[in-house]
Structure 1
Amino acid sequence: MDGTESRKLPRVPENLLKRRKKYQGLKAAEAKRALEEKRKLQPGKQIKFKRLETFVRDSRRKMRDDSRLRRMQIYKKKIPNISSKKLAFVVRIMDIQGVNQHVLRILKTFRLGKMFSGVFVKLTPETITMIQVIEPYVAWGFPNLKSVRELILKRGQGMVKGKKMPLTDNNMIEEQLGRVGIICLEDVIHELYSAGENFTEVNKFLCPFQLSVARHAGVNRKGYLTELGDPGNRGVGINELIRKLN
C-alpha cells in the first residue's frame, strides 16, 4: 500500500435515505401548522408570556391604589407652601401597569403616557387633587424660570398638523399661537412661567417633554430608579431633577 488509493466513503442504504426525507417533510409540515395556529390567535403579533409574579404585582398595586384613594376621600391631605405657587412640573418615574383606572385616566389627562415624560401643570384646587392621586407614580415640584427656559430650548416641541416640530422658528409659533398674542419663543416661556390666561392654549400646543435617564441608573428596592429618587412633592428640588435629566 503506497497510500495513493482513494478512501471509500460508507454508503447509506436507500431505504434509510427515504425514511430521513419523509421524516424531514413531516417535521416541516408540523412546524408550518404550528405557525398558522399561532397567527390565528394573534395575527401579526407574537404571543406574550406573563409570569405569575407580574399578576401578583399588578393586583397588589391596584389594591394599594384603591385603599389610598379611599383614605384621600376621608382625610384631606394638604400640601405645604403652595399658596404662592402657580406652576408645577410633573415627571412620570414609575411603571403604570396594573394601576387603578382613576389613576390611569388622570395620567392620560396630563399626557404622561411614556416613562420619564414631563409636563407643565397650572396649579388650581382641581389639578392639585389630581396630582395627589397620581403622586406614587410621579415626581413633581415648582420649576424656576431657568428650568422652564432650558426645557423649552432643549426639548421643546410643538404639534403642527399632527406632527411634532422643534421650536426653532418663531414664524411657526406665530402661526399656531398668534391668535392669543404669542408670537415668539420668549412669549411661550413667559406664558408658561407666569401661568397666564393663555397657559392652556400654549400647553396644549407643546408636546410632553421626553427626558433622558442614564443607562447606569439602578433600580432600588421600591422599584424606582436611584438616579431619580422617590416620587412625590420635591418642591424647588424639582429643578435639580430637571438639570439631571434634561
Structure 2
Amino acid sequence: MSAAAGENAPPPEMNYISEVVLKKRKNNEDWAIRRKLQLQERAKRSKFGNSFIKKPEQLIREYRDKELDFVQMKSRVKLKRRTPVAQDSRLLFVIRIRGKNDMHPKSRKLLYSLRLRKIFSGVFVKASKGMMEILQKVEPYVTYGYPSMKSVKDLIYKKGIVKIGKERVPLTDNNIVEQELGQHNIICIEDIVNEIASVGPQFKTVTRFLSPFKLNNPDKALRGKKKRFEDGGDSGNRLDRINDLIGKMN
C-alpha cells in the first residue's frame, strides 16, 4: 500500500457515549445518593420513634412528672405504712404494670435492680424488710403478692426461660438444669420449683438462673389506676390474690 493510500484511509471508529446518556447516568447517581440519605434518615426516625424530636411542652411535662414521682416516693417512705406479711410465706412474686417517661431516675434504677426492665415482666423475690421498703418506693409501678405452689409451678413450666451463654432458651430440658445447677444439687425443673416455693438456701442462685418472666397483657384485669389495690387500684400488695392475676397473665 502506498503512502498516499495510507494517508487517505478513514480514521478508526472510536467508542463514545452520547451527552444525553451521560446526563441520564449522572441524574441516576444523584437520585441514588438522595434516596440513600432519605432511607438513612427514615431509619433513624424509626429507631427513636416519636421521641426523636420532642416539643418543649412535652419535655417540661415529663420533667415535672419525674419530679412529682420523686416527691411521692419520699412521702411513701415517710409514711412508714405497715406492710402486711403472710406468716406462712417468705416468697413474693412482683409484676411491673406500668412506668415509662413519667418515672424519676431513682424509680427506674430500683426497678432495674429488681430486673423489671419491661412492663408485664415478673420476678420471684424474698419477702424481707429491705425488699418491702424497695417495693414501697416503686409501688405505683408494680403489684405483688404471695404466690401459691400451683402459681410457682405454672409460671416456671409455662414461661420459664434461661440464658445459656448469649442465647435465651425455654426451660424444658432437665439436662440443662443439671449442667448449670448440678453443683448445688438442683438437677431438674421440679427441683427449681421446690427451691423457689420454699425459698430454700439456693433461692438466689435459682432465681438468677431464670430470666424475668414475660407475661401476657391481662386486658381488663387491670383497671388502669395508680391507686393501691386495697383502695380500688392496681398497684401494691395483693396478698394471695396475686394468684388470680398470675392466672390471667400466664
Normalising TM by the smaller chain, what interval?
A: 0.7 to 0.9
Q: 1:91 aligns with which of 81, 95, 117?
A: 95
Aligned residues: 214
Structure 2 residues without counterparts, runs of 5 or longer: 1-26, 228-232
Structure 1 residues 33 and 210: CA distance shift in structure 2, 3 A: closer
Q: Distance in 2 between matches of 1:213 and 1:44?
A: 29
Look up the SS of the partner of 1:119 in the other structure: strand
1:204 match: 208
Q: Verify the 8 A CA contact 1:86 1:123 in the aligned structure 2.
A: yes
1:45 match: 44
1:77 match: 81
Structure number with larger C-alpha Rg: 2
**What TM-score comes out, normalization by structure 2 length?**
0.74
Deviations 1:106-156 (A, max 9, x none): 111111111111111111111111111111001111100000000011010
Q: Which has the higher helix share?
A: 2
Matches for 1:1-246 after TM superposition, within 5 Å: 32=34, 35=37, 45-46=44-45, 48-51=52-55, 54-213=58-217, 217=220, 222=225, 230-246=234-250
Deviations 1:18-77 (A, max 9, x none): xxxxxxx7xx87x939947x96xx795116233566435423431222212222343312
Deviates more, 1:52-61 or 1:189-198: 52-61
**Post-superposition shift, 1:190?**
0.4
Structure 1 residues 223 and 235: CA distance shift in structure 2, 3 A: closer
**Post-superposition shift, 1:93?**
0.9
> Matched residues, percent identical?
36
Taking only aligned residues, the RMSD between alpha carbons, in angstroms, comes to: 3.2
Look up the SS of the partner of 2:136 in the other structure: helix
Structure 1 residues 131 and 223: CA distance shift in structure 2, 3 A: closer
**Post-superposition shift, 1:222?**
4.1
**Post-superposition shift, 1:210?**
0.5
Q: Verify the 8 A CA contact 1:96 1:137 in the aligned structure 2.
A: no
The one-letter amino acid of 1:32's match is R
Q: Distance in 2 between matches of 1:192 and 1:201?
A: 10
The one-letter amino acid of 1:91's match is I
**Post-superposition shift, 1:182?**
0.6
Structure 1 residues without counterparts, runs of 5 or longer: 1-24
